[in-house]
Structure 1
Amino acid sequence: MPERIVYITDYDYKRLGLLLESMNSVPQNRRNDLSCLENELESCRVVAPNEIPANVVTLNSRIRYFNLNSKEERIVTLVFPSNADLSKGRVSIISPLGAAILGYAEGDVVVWKTFSGRKTIRIEEVIYQPEAAGDFHL
């Protein structure tokens, strides 16, 4: 099986790097679970916004996923922490789910660890992706 490529736009890459740097500079903001996002940034393929495939999850993307553990389907939007609101389906990029789905594409199965065990979802659809819509600076 070929290794999966995680795509991240150069714009998102820079903003996420600054976010992580800011969080890690304040001792009470340091979290061990951010290592997943840091690892993604270390191994991703950084591309221009107009080069990212339209089926890849980027910041501000709205997706539909199927939870293989609970057999439930959900629609969420991946956002920065300041815009997060679970009651409105806005998932923070620094949450375990948010960090896990960044850079994955439709059809991908995503697995990550949480305090309560392993979670597994399948990304069914990227309903809206800013880059595909020409919204390059959201």
Structure 2
Amino acid sequence: MDKVPMTSAGFESLKEELRRRQQEERPRIVEAISEARAHGDLSENAEYHSAKEAQSLNEGRIAELEDLTARAEVIDVAKLSGDKVKFGATVKLVDEDTEEEKVYQIVGDQEADVKKGRISISSPIARALIGKGEGDTVEVAAPGGARSYEILELRWA
């Protein structure tokens, strides 16, 4: 059973989604199924089939969330430090071609959101950054071709 690294905020987010799906969505869907069942013939009852599909999707996500929370390895980013990039680090980069600066925090797969500046530990750019320090240059094989970045700043928190 592989551990799944994540920040405490990511873990809390997963726990909240699990709670919401179990305590709010599940009863709502069960109610929708019983209401649709009361309409009679199930073979041509679109509401019934829709509610059953929603139930299946919800139960699948609940199982996935239970698995993820059970295998979670919660890492408190506030307690991390060092001069090399690793999980939890916030890295300020500059694209050496465009001079565009970007700031990313390296987080677990489940909490990655590029729009919010959080990239997955398994992404190509994060894999290239791991083990590097301020001032280092990294080459990233991106879908649009190789990109070169310089690490301007490394911070924790």
> Shorter chain as normaliser: what TM range?
0.5 to 0.7
**CA 1:62/1:115 → structure 2, altered by over 3 Å: closer, same or farther?**
same
Task: Say whether 1:74 aligns with 2:111.
Answer: no
Counterparts of 1:27-46 in structure 2 under 5 Å?
A: none
Q: Which runs of 4+ in 1 moved over 6 A?
A: none
Q: Deviations over 1:73-105 (max 9, x none)?
A: 111101111110111100111111111111111
Q: 1: distance between equivalents of 2:3 and 2:138?
A: 23
Task: Say whether 1:62 aligns with 2:90.
Answer: yes
Q: Give unpaired runs (5+ residues) of structure 2.
A: 5-79
Between 1 and 2, higher relative CO (CA 8 Å, sep ≥ 6) is seen in 1
State percent identity of aligned pairs: 27
SS in 1 for 2:84: coil
Contact persistence 2:137–2:148 (CA under 8 A): yes
Q: 1: distance between equivalents of 2:140 and 2:117?
A: 19
Question: Which residue type is aligned with residue 102 of structure 1?
Answer: I
Contact persistence 2:81–2:156 (CA under 8 A): no
Q: Deviations over 1:20-68 (max 9, x none)?
A: xxxxxxxxxxxxxxxxxxxxxxxxxxxxxxxx98221010101111111
| Number of equivalent positions | 82
Instruction: Give the one of 69, 88, 91 matched to 2:116.
Output: 88
Task: Say whether 1:124 aligns with 2:114.
Answer: no
Task: Say whether 1:113 aligns with 2:141.
Answer: yes
Q: Deviations over 1:93-126 (max 9, x none)?
A: 1111111111111110001222221110000111
Q: 2: distance between equivalents of 1:91 and 1:119?
A: 16
TM-score, with structure 2 as normaliser: 0.47
Larger radius of gyration: 2
Q: 2: distance between equivalents of 1:15 and 1:126?
A: 26
Query: Please, what is the CA RMSD of the aligned residues?
Result: 2.4
Q: Give unpaired runs (5+ residues) of structure 1.
A: 1-13, 17-51, 130-138
